[in-house]
Amino acid sequence: MSHPVPLYASSAPVTALPSGLFEQAARAGRSQLEAAELDALLAALGALTPHDRTVAAEAGSGELRVSLHVSREFGMVLSAGVGGLDGELDAGLFRKDSARVQVLAELSNAQDFLMRFKGTMAYQKLGLRARRKNQAAPDAQLLALFESLLTLARDAVSASPAVPFTLTSLDLEVRLSQGPIEVLAAHCAFAAPAPQRRGRPIEKIGQLLHPATIGLIGVSGTSMNFGRIILRNLLGSAYPKTQLTVIRPDATEIDGVACVANLQSLTHPLDLLIVAVAAEAVPALVDEIIASGAVAAVMLIPGGLGETSKSRGAAAVLAEKINAAHAQSGGGPIFLGANCLGVVSHPGGYDSWFIPLERLPKPAKKAQRNSVMLSQSGAFMITRLSQNPWLDPSYMLALGNQTDLTHGDLLSYFAGCPEIETLGIYIEGFKDGDGLHFAKAVRQAVLAGKQVVVYKAGRTGPGSAAALGHTASVAGDPALFESVMRQAGAIVARTINAFDDLFYIAGAMHHKKIGGTRLGAISGAGFEAVAMADELSADGFSLQMGELQQDTVQAVAAILQAKKLAALVEVRNPIDINPGADDEAHLQIAEAFLLDAQIDALVIGLDPTAPSVRALEHSLLRPGYDISDPLSTVQLMPPLVQRHDKPLVGIVDGGRLFDAMCDALMDRGVCVFRNCARGTSALRQYIEARQATAALCAAHQDSLTSTPKN
């Protein structure tokens, strides 16, 4: 039996794709390449397919499965992982990234992909076999293979009218030997390029966020409908009445705001028009808005457009009208929504949510607002902000159905805003191709020094169906989403609680130095020390308990001696400092840990229930021994946090009696969690993400310095 001919015998460059290859197959009524055509395609990669077709057909003989495939959301994806029968197993049986790795071809290179692939079981098996045979690891062979496929991906995907067919998938089962890589089986499919949406004029997002003039359609003059609530919120957020216009033919003013009969009656153009009418009235109104040329940005509040099977046809027609308008001079108006809660823009001075301010006040919780929240679901933003007002974004936008503006559009805009440092984004699904647009925007934001925290719903079959019924979103492959988002540089949250924690800690720690993975842990209860230690490792990334320097041990021993705790506490890391320790003891030991060069970050349990800690708003047993005392944690900890550039997380594990303590600390910029395991887990995930983005930025800088200048 002859052996398969190697796919890649050297590092020879990929030659041009055979002209007419896909056209020839298409004329024959096929969407896949046959054996001879596959030979030609693989020859263009620098090799031939196996001559022995019986070998190629053997099931389960491949060590490695490598593929290119076009994703609806992300475009061309390169993946590699276990082959043969192992490759047929459910990926859920494997640890994250151990079965296969997936990357966006446009954001990857061969060296980067090889580094990711080294974490898979497939590579570990190859490496183990090479070591047992006293051979070199197959890195050079794999690097050449990945470079070949990435070059093919860049050359074979085109939306040009001159290229009527494009590669949609190439699957290879391969085997490595001492010689070249051998192809055991190959399959290739193609299709016509998918139609592309016109680019939206995203510069008009600036007018959406900072409108000098706002108009409203759908405001009732007699009842408190959504339009009227939005008007009240605009006024309640101190947006000037003189810059507001209500469009209503049967009134001259509502709540002191002037009314006009229709868009044609406007005496000035509108930066923003808020539409709060019934869904069935929207299509005709959109025609009028586009024809008027008087509006830069539109907010479509109505739901029901595209969320039911009956409405999807009409919603698609509406989206096409809006898309066509972007071909006009100036790009036409941009549309946010439909099914859109609205926008809160603190820099723009307005709140257009239809949630009354009395139900969701938005007091300033940060010295400087510097974050953004984008969400397909308005209710997601409401509940997040209600439960944690310290998120306190500058801007909060609900995307709804993405009839026009998409996740990628909005993130692209904010990636270029220097005053924004952190973005929290809730996604249910992407429009076709917008996942790639979004991933590129994530990379742009990260390289600009920003942090992007994303949570994607619809990770299960029922969740995906719910997303389709809520914001007309197709949820997509959750494993692919997580892979490409982490590749782009995002911090990926897998649960809503994780999103809350990571968005919060990212905002609190953005300017802290991530020097390493050595953690210091201080607690007033043994279970906290154990729980902190249990959260050091997950998903292949670990923190370590730092080994205290001798100077630190001596400093902590002196503190314990002064506080009469020396006989009760052993100096170590993690350290349980006993419920007898007061506020000052906690924070003096914390500072000793922070000064230790072998500690990179610190978690400290603040022990609110301990009688020695000033944790109550008012103490009946010891009047004045409370959070207003100059020696309380509330007074001592904020300056400590400001003095040090290392991450410090405080844990207040107690009930409602200690809400005032938490609120006061968080108001002063201290990062506080109410559970030691959750706080340590969030810190671990954040440190992992910061190290990953630091490596990404360093690689980008290296690529800039190594690129020859013309």
Strands laid side by side in the 371-375 sheet? 350-351, 343-345, 395-398, 371-375, 422-427, 451-456, 491-493
For the four alpha carbons of 497, 500, 502 and 504, in that order, the dihedral sign comes to negative
**In residues, how long is the chain?**
710
Burial class (CB in 10 A: 0-12, 13-18, 19+), 638: middle
The kind and range of the H/E element at 184 are strand 181-191
Fill in the DSSP letter of residue 120.
S
pLDDT digits (tens, 9 = 90+) for 90-123: 555 555 667 889 999 999 999 999 999 998 988 9
Contacts of 605 (CB under 8 A, 6+ apart): 522, 523, 524, 525, 528, 651, 653, 676
Q: Which of 528, 545, 536, 561 is nearest to 650 (CA)?
A: 528
CA distances from 45 to 66, 103, 651 (A): 14, 20, 56
- Return d(Cα 80, Cα 368) in angstroms, integer: 44
The kind and range of the H/E element at 133 are none
Contact (CB, 8 A) for 235 and 255 = yes
Contact (CB, 8 A) for 8 and 15 = no
Q: Which pair of tokens denotes residue 369?
A: 């607002």
Find out whether the peptide bond into 457 is cis, omega within 30 degrees of 0.
no
Find out whether the peptide bond into 574 is cis, omega within 30 degrees of 0.
yes
Q: Where are the domains of the chain?
A: 6-191, 202-509, 518-693
Pairing of strands 244-247, 295-300: unpaired
Q: Which pair of tokens denotes residue 549?
A: 């320097």
- Return d(Cα 593, Cα 599) in angstroms, integer: 7
Confirm whether 202-509 and 518-693 share one CATH topology: yes
Q: In which residue are the tokens 């197993």 written?
A: 89
- Return d(Cα 52, Cα 401) in angstroms, integer: 52
Which parts of 105-153 are beta strand (E)? none
Contact (CB, 8 A) for 434 and 407 = yes
User: Residues in the chain with pLDDT < 50?
Assistant: 1-13, 47-60, 159-160, 463-464, 466-475
For the four alpha carbons of 98, 689, 592 and 649, in that order, the dihedral sign comes to negative
Q: Output the CA angle 371-374-378, nearest 5 degrees.
A: 125
- Return d(Cα 591, Cα 556) in angstroms, integer: 10
Helix count (H) and strand count (E) of the chain?
Answer: 22, 28
What's the N-to-C CA distance of the chain in angstroms?
53
Helix, coil or strand: residue 388: coil
Q: In which residue are the tokens 């610190």 written?
A: 602
Helix, coil or strand: residue 343: strand
Contact (CB, 8 A) for 669 and 662 = no
Contact (CB, 8 A) for 428 and 402 = no
202-509: which CATH number, 3.30.420.40, 3.20.20.140, 3.40.50.261, 3.40.50.920? 3.40.50.261
Q: Which pair of tokens denotes residue 564?
A: 């009469």
- From the CB of residue 678, how many other CB atoms can be counted at a distance below 10 Å? 19
Virtual torsion, Cα 53, 55, 60, 63, nearest 10 deg: -110
Contacts of 582 (CB under 8 A, 6+ apart): 563, 612, 613, 614, 631
- Return d(Cα 349, Cα 386) in angstroms, integer: 20
What are residue 166's phi and psi, to 5 degrees?
-140, 150
What are residue 456's phi and psi, to 5 degrees?
-115, 125
pLDDT digits (tens, 9 = 90+) for 17-55: 665 777 888 888 899 999 888 888 877 776 444 444 444
Contact (CB, 8 A) for 492 and 111 = no
CA distances from 81 to 112, 121, 180, 380 (A): 15, 8, 18, 36
CA 231 to chain centroid, in Å, comes to 32
What confidence score (pLDDT) does residue 480 get? 94
- Return d(Cα 434, Cα 428) in angstroms, integer: 12
CA distances from 457 to 75, 434, 463 (A): 21, 16, 7
- From the CB of residue 697, how many other CB atoms can be counted at a distance below 10 Å? 15
Helix, coil or strand: residue 427: strand
Q: In which residue are the tokens 């692209």 written?
A: 412
Contact (CB, 8 A) for 483 and 437 = no
CA distances from 604 to 417, 589, 677 (A): 35, 10, 11
Contact (CB, 8 A) for 594 and 602 = yes
Fill in the DSSP letter of residue 460.
S
- Return d(Cα 104, Cα 68) in angstroms, integer: 10
Fill in the amino acid letter for 138. Answer: P
- CATH superfamily assigned to domain 6-191: ATP-grasp fold, B domain (3.30.470.20)
- From the CB of residue 491, how many other CB atoms can be counted at a distance below 10 Å? 29
Which architecture characterizes domain 518-693 according to CATH? 3-Layer(aba) Sandwich (3.40)
- What pairs with residue 245 in β-bridges? 215
3-state secondary structure 265-288: HCCCCEEEEEECCCHHHHHHHHHH
Q: Which of 128, 126, 1, 129 is nearest to 58 (CA)?
A: 1
What confidence score (pLDDT) does residue 18 get? 66
- What pairs with residue 217 in β-bridges? 247, 275
pTM, two decimals, is 0.91
DSSP 211-270: -S-EEEES--SSS--HHHHHHHHHHHTT--GGGEEEE-TT-SEETTEEEESSGGG-SS-E
